[in-house]
Amino acid sequence: MKISVALCTYNGAKYIDKQLASILSQTYSVHEVIICDDGSTDLTPEILEQYRIKFPGIVQVIQNPINLGSKKNFDKAISMCSNDLIFLSDQDDIWVKTKVEEYVDFLNKNPAVMVVASNGFIINDEGIIQPSLTLWDVPKILSEQNEDIDFFSHVCQCGNIVTGASIAIRQSYVSNVLPIPNALNMEHDEWITLVSSRENSFAMIDKKLFFYREHNDQQLGGVSFPLNEDSKSQLYNQFSLAKYNFSRYKWRIKQLAIRHNRLLTEPTTSQQDLIIKQVTGIFNDLLHEFLKSYPIRGHFTRLIDKLTNKRQIAKLANSPTLRTSCEKK
């Protein structure tokens, strides 16, 4: 199995050297690193050029003529990769030396899996491991309570637990996830997870195979929590689909409405339409359960929701009013 890496950079000079060094020193060789730089104004282009010269035929650097933003930059980088397995990479993390080897071994044993991610360590700005619970621990936390995870249902109803920096995609599956829609507040990792998990083609490896750097300059974060029982309990309460009460129903209905309406923020692809249809079905089923469980309070709440346009699935695409109102608390 030949390996490609789709790496996106933007003003990452402080960290990119360590990330590239970890990618190019894997126990299972990487054959191609496609780097799309999104208009860096620091020393990132100079560092990338040094790697291109040092690793000819492996490291390729593309300078975007205009800033694309992270979603469309990853779309571009993935589309340019040519090998059997494509790893996504941020500029500020570090890979465990056996990451590629572990992924390849897992996929060889699980041919039905098209997209795979893993658990990881949290490191600080200086690269020191921070004792933490993370969103990536959610499957294990649920399993400890004898609750299995359905990635599609959990992401739709509770939130995304997959980080793009840990994703790898089989080349044969790329056409299923591209193009990445420029949907409001939906990152490329959530989109790829929704597509692949809807088709039962997604899996997570319960091993820590990368070091995720949390620092003040990163675009996204919020994946780590204090390593204590309170955090574990909070994560379980947020992501469990087995817990049913009035507030929990409202939370899950809200999350479904948000994801549904995000996918309507531009002309849709066939993949978006399929996901929208399935999310709508889950929304209607959950709403039916809610009203059956709380016939008086539930119907009163839905009446108020309709009057205030809260927790409603939009009927028209590209509606700023519906799009904004569905995300109100």
In the chain, pLDDT over 70 holds for what percent of residues?
93
The answer for residues whose C-beta is within 8 angstroms of residue 204's C-beta and 6 or more apart is 116, 117, 118, 119, 136, 139, 151, 162
Same domain, 200 and 263: no
Q: Which of 239, 258, 281 is the last residue of a domain?
A: 239
Q: Which of 239, 266, 294 is the last residue of a domain?
A: 239
The answer for residues whose C-beta is within 8 angstroms of residue 208's C-beta and 6 or more apart is 96, 118, 119, 120, 121
Instruction: Determine whether 39 is exposed, middle or buried from the number of CB atoms within 10 Å of its CB (0-12, 13-18, 19+).
Output: middle
Same domain, 88 and 18: yes
Q: Is the pTM value of this prediction over 0.85?
A: yes
Average pLDDT score over the chain: 91
pLDDT of residue 26: 98
The answer for residues whose C-beta is within 8 angstroms of residue 247's C-beta and 6 or more apart is none
Is 7 a residue whose pLDDT tops 80?
yes
Q: Which of 239, 266, 285 is the last residue of a domain?
A: 239
pLDDT of residue 325: 41
Q: Domain containing 306: what range?
A: 246-325
Q: What is the mean pLDDT of residues 219-233?
A: 85
pLDDT of residue 170: 98
Give tens-digit pLDDT for 162-183.
999 999 999 999 999 999 988 7
Same domain, 219 and 256: no
pLDDT of residue 135: 96
Give tens-digit pLDDT for 24-64.
999 999 999 999 999 999 999 999 999 999 999 999 999 99
pLDDT of residue 322: 38
